[in-house]
A = this chain, B = another copy of it.
Amino acid sequence: MNSELMSMVLHNVKKVTPLVHCITNYVTVNDVANIVLACGGSPIMADDIHEAADISRLCTATCINIGTLNERTIASMVVAGYAAHEAGHITLLDPVGAGASAYRTDTAIMLMKKIPFSVIRGNMSEIKALASAYGVTVNSRADTAEKDIGVKTQGVDVNASDKVTDVTVKQSVALAQKLAEKTHAVIAVSGAIDIIADDSHAYICRNGCAEMSRITGTGCMLSALTTVFCAANKNTILHTDAVLSAAVVSFAVMGLCGERAQKKSAEAQEGTGSFRSYLIDEMSTMTAEKLIEGQKIEEFRP
């Protein structure tokens, strides 16, 4: 991706200040609100059915995260997501824990059937659970001996056997692109190697660090960030892949903030509490220069 495009994506976020409706889990909702503000967006959370659609219409994008779903909020997700779609807004689904319980998998699939999401962002275990429901399967497990770890053992984190590695990246991109084809969404998979793909193009991004999985909410924050970036750039960059490009840049920015925060906390011999504050610090002070220097985005060509 060329530097000019990356700069423009970042610039548009600060220029537009997208108002983003987040129906998200109560575990990391505060982190989500703070990352949206830090990157230059403005968050609003409204999970009651009496206002969910109104608030979606008021915003320019809606981010739906099923991390602590329940019957009441699922109904609101449907109307909020659909109202956003009808208004031509960016809609993003974060299927937190899909695969960990039937309720989560079924709810994610139901939402996908009712709302044509612009972007679906999850870890590889979650994306595989969705893909499987769409009849999309690719064996990307590096080590079949690990198979008995099972699909359901890791809760909201990725299964060890599902992690994308240099060995499995080709198969993983193929899976993402097949799911993109079925859903017409950008499929964005976070991990040590991120995959961001639509049905015709794919990118991988190697930004990020292990520390990011030692605090809660980095996945949820990334989903909100991607929503903001896509909303700000949807109609503004002269590029056929506006949503895909904006999603790719959001992944690089999040990973880069993690790397920089990790460097700072390690140098000061601090731990994950300080790391978490520094992650937000980095987001609120990100610049095009830092991004261009630190990004590890590659277009994936099979």
Expressed in whole angstroms, the Cα–Cα distance for A274 and B285 within the complex equals 12
Per-residue interface assignment for chain A, residues 264 to 302, with 1 indicating a CB less than 8 Å from any chain B CB and 0 otherwise: 010001111110111111111100000000000000000
Verify A48–B70 contact, CB threshold 8 A: yes
Expressed in whole angstroms, the Cα–Cα distance for A280 and B271 within the complex equals 7
Q: Which chain A residues (211-234) contact chain B, with CB distance < 8 Å? A: 213-217
Chain B residues with Cβ below 8 Å from A284 are 214, 271-273
Of the candidates B31, B44, B271, the one whose C-beta lies within 8 Å of that of A281 is B271
Of the candidates B38, B45, B47, the one whose C-beta lies within 8 Å of that of A273 is B38
Chain B residues with Cβ below 8 Å from A45 are 25, 27, 67-68
Q: Which chain A residues (241-273) contact chain B, with CB distance < 8 Å? A: 265, 269-273
Expressed in whole angstroms, the Cα–Cα distance for A188 and B274 within the complex equals 29
Of the candidates B26, B28, B37, B154, the one whose C-beta lies within 8 Å of that of A215 is B37
Verify B100–A71 contact, CB threshold 8 A: no
Verify A279–B273 contact, CB threshold 8 A: yes
Chain B residues with Cβ below 8 Å from A37 are 213-216, 272
Chain B residues with Cβ below 8 Å from A213 are 37
Verify B276–A276 contact, CB threshold 8 A: no
Expressed in whole angstroms, the Cα–Cα distance for A72 and B69 within the complex equals 13
Chain B residues with Cβ below 8 Å from A217 are 30, 33
Expressed in whole angstroms, the Cα–Cα distance for A273 and B280 within the complex equals 5
Chain B residues with Cβ below 8 Å from A33 are 27-28, 216-217
Expressed in whole angstroms, the Cα–Cα distance for A155 and B36 within the complex equals 13
A2 within 8 A of B: no
Verify A54–B216 contact, CB threshold 8 A: no
A152 within 8 A of B: yes
Verify B273–A54 contact, CB threshold 8 A: no
A61 within 8 A of B: no
Across the two chains, which residue of chain B brings its CB closest to A283?
B271
Verify B154–A19 contact, CB threshold 8 A: yes
What are 27 inter-chain pairs, A to B, with CB distance below 8 A? A19-B153, A25-B45, A27-B30, A28-B30, A30-B31, A34-B273, A37-B214, A37-B215, A37-B216, A38-B214, A43-B155, A44-B100, A44-B155, A44-B156, A45-B67, A46-B97, A50-B103, A58-B100, A58-B101, A269-B285, A270-B278, A270-B285, A271-B283, A271-B284, A272-B281, A273-B277, A276-B280
